[in-house]
Amino acid sequence: MLRHLSAIHAPFHLKRPFRISRGIKSVADTIFVEIREGKNIGRGESVPYSRYNETIEGVLAQIESIRGEIEAGADRAYLMEIMPPGAARNALDCALWDLEAKQTGVSVIERIGWDSLKPISTAITVSLDTPENMAKVARQLSDVPLLKVKVDACDPIAAVRSVREAAPNPRIIVDPNESWSIEQLALWQSGLLELRVDLLEQPLPAENDAQLEGFDALIPLAADESGHVADDLAQLARRYDYVNIKLDKTGGLTTALAMLEAAEREGLGLMVGCMVSSSLSIAPALILAQRCAFVDLDGPTWLMEDFKNGVKESRGIMTPPEPGFWG
């Protein structure tokens, strides 16, 4: 049976600006993919990320370059052979998972042999801002289980303190997005410990990771920009305690599942994250979340409008999409 592939740029406007150490955005620029085969349609989404030299045009061109193979019936295993990790492969891989589920009537989580999806606690992000404004946001989120606090190298302790005073109870992840030096990490980590920070995510630029070998970390460290695929993990295990698995980095759910298993073998703790995206990106990531100690999947909560029947978040608890939405 013939297939038809479509891929478009699908922007989502945000409720408020999303700011991290390397920039600010007011729109989530996603790639929306459909693979149609007969009456069944598989859908996938990805988010090109400039940190990895990805652009909307470049990702669409990557997808277009293998249109022939996809429409001729390429499966997920072959996709891994002909495309590198990244946003383009992620959108296609997730669309193929969804198509398989529609064709067979077997859900993705059943296919991989795990228990059914359950609601999970997700981090809710406090975007980088003045300490006063971050405190205002945190005060409204004081009853969620987990906060993620975006900081840079400009007095991060003041920012985290403002959040902790406004929200005494939630666990906290602090994310500098590669903006610190090893000297700053050494200087600030005791202050973060006093503020009861549970996890520090990617404090140093990825190219400076070697400086973490032998470093006496007071707070567990998670690799994000440093960890993309399973081949990275043996080295990461000498430098980090956790790895943040994102489908846009691994290039899809297929390789994300392999990375999850490999990380467990290496003794790394598990975290799953996302870009600012819609429920279509979050639905496959929720599968990984079932096995992760830290979950950061609040991307759709930033959107002015999400897909109908997608994930729902209430006070930091995320509920899976309605049946039939994806997978």
Catalytic residues: 150, 246
Integer CA distances (angstroms), 114 to 107, 111, 231, 291, 307, in order: 10, 8, 24, 10, 26
Classify 217 as helix, strand or coil.
Answer: coil
User: CB-based contacts of 93: which residues, under 8 Å, 6+ apart?
Assistant: 44, 76, 79, 251, 252, 253, 254, 255
Residue with tokens 């987990």: 146
Cβ-based neighbour number of residue 129 at 10 Å: 16
Q: Give the distance from CA 34 to its chain's centroid.
A: 21
CB of 17 within 8 A of CB of 84?
no
Cα–Cα distance measured from residue 136 to residue 166, given in angstroms and rounded to the nearest whole number = 7
Cβ-based neighbour number of residue 27 at 10 Å: 14
C-alpha angle 226-20-83 in degrees, rounded to nearest 5:
40
Please state the φ and ψ torsions of residue 86, each to the nearest 5 degrees.
140, -175
Cβ-based neighbour number of residue 38 at 10 Å: 10
Cα–Cα distance measured from residue 207 to residue 183, given in angstroms and rounded to the nearest whole number = 15
Beta strands in the chain (DSSP E): 3-20, 23-37, 40-46, 120-121, 124-126, 146-150, 171-175, 199-201, 221-223, 242-245, 269-272, 294-295, 312-314, 317-319
